Amino acid sequence: MLDAIAEIGTDPTAGVSRLAFTAAERQAHELVSGWLRELGLTVRQDAIGNTIAERPGTVPGAKAIGVGSHLDSVPHGGRFDGIVGVVGAVEMVRLLSVTRRQLQHTLRVVLFAGEEGARFGEPCIGSKAVVGAFAGRDLGRILDAQGVSLASALQDVGLDPVRISAARWDPREWAAFLELHVEQARLLESEGRQVGLVDVVSGSTRLRLTLHGRADHSGGTPMDVRADALVAAADVVVAAEGLATDPRHRGTRATVGRLDVYPNSITTIPGRVTLTVDVRDVDSDRQRAAAAEITQIAAHICQRRGVRLEAEVIADTSPAVLPMWLREITSAVCRELGIDARPITSGAGHDAQVVNQLVPAGMIFVPSREGLSHVPEEWTSASDIARGVEVLYHSVLRLDGFLTEMSAEIGSADS
């Protein structure tokens, strides 16, 4: 299954480019939807392009348990990010079918659209829609590097941007959501641990900084009269790294991942540079303070170099503390299975982090070789994936029983 999904969007770098709201992402959704239908699930697409497949439980009216992850990738990314959670969810359903195991709660497999923020700068688009985070926002102002708006991209794949509010979940229908994912860091591998149970997911503030200098001839313009936007941008890049390594911001990560230079000519002084800064932290105050400080530093640099700064926050996602009671369930499962697990903090953002605003969410991590992710060299072994699926499967079974017991206790107390 994993290889079949990875073939969609394979690029010349040996990586995968299956960007949000493209034909390739839609093709992946259709492929996995077919597998889920073959397993007897009812499958639908919601207003933002998430795929939701349902396996009814035996108790009418019981809240649903959700599992799943995302199918899009970053440009030239790897074969495991998101896909492990999708394949894990499908395999879990297959195990339920093979063993003829019936859950008391409805099981919903969710394949999120647009989790990666690589295309639009806005991460977790599908999961943000289900929690109602786009209410009042103009999707025409969320742009990719080619100037295509999120609204236009949705229309290009047959979705109606006016209707995305219909994707919002009713929390009364959901009991919990579990996401299996690769770690995307090296802690599990370095400690020889088999599974990570996520306690906190880092938040992110993403900046778009545009530096307006003056384009001019590279040979005819003296060094002391230049307004070189790229030199100013280089200072900003170094300053962002310096801030994140300052002890005052211990735990903060700052990354400049994109630079667009105009006119991008070998014989012309750069007149305009647009760069992105991704600021992440598990502490929301520290996260936003660091982003604000980077913007202030950039303003000082531009003033000193005779360059005008245009700054914009293009996305802001808060850190999430995932509920301890869900982690206790997954931890108990690991103990019963003899799996060496540890609590772990996620530096990367995830759909479960956003879903947790509306529905209690948990995450199960499996090791990433050398911590590599968002690159073609990304790798997680088949045995580690199988172990993660085993934890997911038994966690859902245990959660199903736990929720039933809780409902019975509440009903008994009410009577």
* CA 91 – CA 109 distance, rounded (Å): 11
| CATH number (domain holding residue 350) | 3.40.630.10
Mark whether 285 and 327 lie in a shared domain.
no
Q: Whole domain around residue 299: which residue ranges? A: 203-317
Per-residue model confidence as pLDDT tens for the chain (415 residues): 899 999 999 988 889 999 999 999 999 999 999 999 999 999 999 999 999 999 999 998 899 999 999 999 999 999 999 999 999 999 999 999 999 999 999 999 999 999 999 999 999 999 999 999 998 889 999 999 899 999 999 999 999 999 999 999 999 999 999 999 999 999 999 999 999 999 999 999 999 999 999 999 999 999 999 999 999 999 999 999 999 999 988 889 999 999 999 999 999 999 999 999 999 999 999 999 999 999 999 999 999 999 999 999 999 999 999 999 999 999 999 999 999 999 999 999 999 999 999 999 999 999 999 999 999 999 999 999 999 999 999 999 999 999 988 776 665 555 5
Q: Which residues, other chains included, contact 305 with Cβ-Cβ below 8 Å and sequence gap of 6+?
A: 213, 227, 228, 231, 232, 235
Mark whether 359 and 308 lie in a shared domain.
no
Mark whether 33 and 89 lie in a shared domain.
yes
Question: How far apart, in Å, are the Cα atoms of 279 and each of 114, 186, 200, 370?
Answer: 20, 20, 16, 23
Mark whether 181 and 262 lie in a shared domain.
no
Summarize pLDDT for 14-34 with one digit per residue, the tens: 899 999 999 999 999 999 999
Give yes or no for a contact between 182 and 378, defined as CB atoms under 8 angstroms apart. yes
Mark whether 326 and 196 lie in a shared domain.
yes
- Listed residue (297, 294, 315, 266) closest to 118, CA to CA: 315
Question: How far apart, in Å, are the Cα atoms of 402 and each of 180, 230, 258, 405, 409?
Answer: 20, 58, 46, 5, 11
Mark whether 131 and 75 lie in a shared domain.
yes
Strands 361-366 and 195-201, by their bridges, are antiparallel
Mark whether 292 and 258 lie in a shared domain.
yes
Last residue of a domain, one of 273, 300, 317: 317
Mark whether 133 and 86 lie in a shared domain.
yes
* Strands, sheet with 308-317, edge to edge from the N-terminal-most edge strand: 253-262, 272-281, 203-212, 308-317
Summarize pLDDT for 341-365 with one digit per residue, the tens: 999 999 999 999 999 999 999 999 9
Could you tell me the two tokens for 338? 């003899």
Mark whether 313 and 323 lie in a shared domain.
no
| CATH number (domain holding residue 301) | 3.30.70.360
* CA 356 – CA 320 distance, rounded (Å): 7
* CA 32 – CA 38 distance, rounded (Å): 10
Classify residue 100 as exposed, middle or buried by CB count within 10 Å of its CB (0-12, 13-18, 19+).
Answer: exposed
Task: Report the largest interatomic distance among the alpha carbons of the chain, rounded to a whole angstrom.
Answer: 88
Mark whether 279 and 144 lie in a shared domain.
no
The structure's pTM equals: 0.91
Q: Which residues, other chains included, contact 406 with Cβ-Cβ below 8 Å and sequence gap of 6+?
A: none
Could you tell me the two tokens for 331? 């931890």
Q: Which residues, other chains included, contact 114 with Cβ-Cβ below 8 Å and sequence gap of 6+?
A: 20, 21, 25, 48, 49, 70, 72, 120, 122, 124, 125, 126
Mark whether 254 and 330 lie in a shared domain.
no
Summarize pLDDT for 234-286 with one digit per residue, the tens: 999 999 999 999 998 888 999 999 999 999 999 999 999 999 999 999 999 99
β-sheet bridge partners, residue 344: 198
Mark whether 138 and 42 lie in a shared domain.
yes
For 54, phi then psi, to 5°, come to -125, 135
- DSSP, collapsed to helix, strand or coil, labels residue 43 as strand
* CA 155 – CA 242 distance, rounded (Å): 41
Classify residue 222 as exposed, middle or buried by CB count within 10 Å of its CB (0-12, 13-18, 19+).
Answer: exposed
